[in-house]
């Protein structure tokens, strides 16, 4: 008859109105998420990593190609730089922080994720924030800041400042990828990290 059959697979059946009960449930939901087209291009979705009771939560914009292919949160030159920021300046271990992405999958063909793709992910992220309850949230780069806060203002005007966001202190800083391309900005980022350290 020309039909082909494949093994059945389970997908998350939750509606947007349903809230998860803990971080483990979010992880299961993210791993089985097929709510948008990004599920077609990823090797895996990445829910988050680190201490579920962390004082510091770091939010990147989207899963990178290298993160997707290695299933590692601290990979490549950018990941090594972020690890150095955490361990050598903040004097924390990577296991002491909670690290996650606003967009939980690798963007399709390295395109900018669409608003609908963000809408599919944002409940996961904001639920993670509620469960971790960090003292400080750090967003990496202007895109992560814009998604988390819904503010589309000049990134330079907010970078390094302590911002009241809901019940948390939020501090936007340059993304490590930016620092690799613009090493002159490492000095201001070092000062931003000292601000973060003073708030933890």
Mean pLDDT of 187-196: 96
Q: How confident is the model at residue 161 (pLDDT cuts 50, 70, 90)?
A: very high
Judge residue 183's burial from the number of C-beta atoms within 10 Å of its C-beta, 0-12 exposed, 13-18 middle, 19 or more buried.
Answer: exposed
Query: What is the pairing mode between strands 136-140 and 56-62?
Result: parallel
Residue 143 lies in a domain: yes
Residue 157: partners with Cβ closer than 8 Å, 6 or more residues away: none
How many Cα atoms occupy the beta-carbon half-sphere of 100 within 13 Å?
Answer: 28
170 φ, ψ (degrees, to nearest 5): -115, 130
Please report the pLDDT score of residue 112 as a whole number: 75
**Can you say whether the dihedral through the CA atoms of 171, 176, 46, 99 is positive or negative?**
negative
* Residue ranges making up the domain that contains 66: 23-199
Q: Nearest 10 degrees: CA dihedral of 34, 32, 113, 159?
A: 150
Q: What is the mean pLDDT of the chain?
A: 86
DSSP assignment letter at 92: -
Residue 2 lies in a domain: no
Chain position carrying tokens 């290695």: 70
Residue 13 lies in a domain: no
Instruction: Give the percent of the chain with pLDDT over 70.
Output: 88
**Selected residue with higher pLDDT from 32 and 89:** 89
Q: Compute the distance between CA of residue 185 and CA of residue 160 in angstroms, rounded to an integer.
A: 12
- The end-to-end CA distance of the chain, in Å, is 64
Whole-model pTM: value is 0.85
134 pLDDT more than 90: yes
Please check whether residue 145 is in contact with residue 125, taking contact to mean a CB–CB distance below 8 angstroms: no
Tell me the two tokens of residue 147.
């998604």
Between 36-40, 121-125, 137-141, the lowest mean confidence (pLDDT) is in 36-40
Residue 7 lies in a domain: no
**Selected residue with higher pLDDT from 57 and 44:** 57
CATH number for position 134:
3.40.470.10
Considering its fold, how many domains does the chain have in total?
Answer: 1
| Helix, strand, coil percent values for the chain (each to nearest 5) | 45, 15, 40
Q: How confident is the model at residue 9 (pLDDT cuts 50, 70, 90)?
A: very low
Mean pLDDT of 61-79: 85
Residue 8 lies in a domain: no
Please report the pLDDT score of residue 14 as a whole number: 47
Residue 153 lies in a domain: yes
Q: How confident is the model at residue 77 (pLDDT cuts 50, 70, 90)?
A: very high
């Amino acid at each position: 008859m020309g039909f082909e059959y494949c093994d059945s697979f389970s997908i998350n059946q939750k509606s947007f109105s349903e809230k998860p009960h803990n971080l483990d449930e979010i992880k299961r939901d993210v791993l089985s998420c097929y709510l948008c087209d990004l599920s077609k291009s990823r090797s895996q979705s990445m829910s988050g990593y680190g201490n579920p009771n962390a004082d510091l939560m770091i939010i990147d914009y989207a899963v990178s190609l290298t993160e997707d292919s290695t299933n590692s949160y601290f990979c490549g030159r950018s990941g090594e730089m972020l690890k150095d920021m955490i361990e050598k300046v903040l004097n924390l271990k990577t296991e002491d922080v909670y690290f996650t992405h606003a967009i939980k999958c690798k963007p399709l063909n390295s395109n900018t994720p669409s608003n609908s793709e963000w809408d599919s992910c944002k409940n996961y992220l904001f639920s993670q924030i509620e469960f971790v309850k960090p003292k400080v949230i750090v967003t990496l780069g202007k895109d992560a800041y814009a998604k988390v806060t819904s503010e589309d203002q000049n990134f330079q005007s907010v970078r390094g400042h302590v911002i009241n966001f809901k019940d948390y202190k939020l501090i936007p800083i340059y993304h490590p990828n930016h620092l690799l391309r613009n090493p002159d900005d490492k000095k201001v980022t070092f000062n931003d990290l000292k601000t973060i350290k003073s708030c933890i």
